[in-house]
Amino acid sequence: AQKVTQAQTEISVVEKEDVTLDCVYETRDTTYYLFWYKQPPSGELVFLIRRNSFDEQNEISGRYSWNFQKSTSSFNFTITASQVVDSAVYFCALSSIQGAQKLVFGQGTRLTINP
């Protein structure tokens, strides 16, 4: 079964703090893809990153970084020096052959950055 778990329902931090959003996934496929999306109050999901299961290299893009660890089936997302504009709901998602290529989303983490 394909499953994505984001255990943190809501996180609230003060601006400039670092914050990590957790994502744990389940799949029996050896080839799969992981994604992170951001959903600001406007409603549109914004694609942030895609990783395939064969590439465990961590990625950094500005203040955003992602830590992919197959050993723990986790794909965590860290925002460094958070800003108010980072406030949104963040979704982790998984797709694989076993899952009929459908994008399976986690429940989302609502992140609030307070000034």
Which residues of the shown chain bind other proteins in the complex (CB under 8 A)? Answer: 31-33, 35, 37, 42-47, 50, 52, 91, 95-97, 100-103, 105-108
The CB-of-65 to other proteins minimum distance in angstroms stands at 19
Burial 27-52 (b: 16+ CB within 10 A, else e): beeeebbbbbbbeeeeeebeebbebe
Q: How far apart are CA 7 and CA 22, in angstroms?
A: 7
The CB-of-112 to other proteins minimum distance in angstroms stands at 17
The CB-of-94 to other proteins minimum distance in angstroms stands at 10
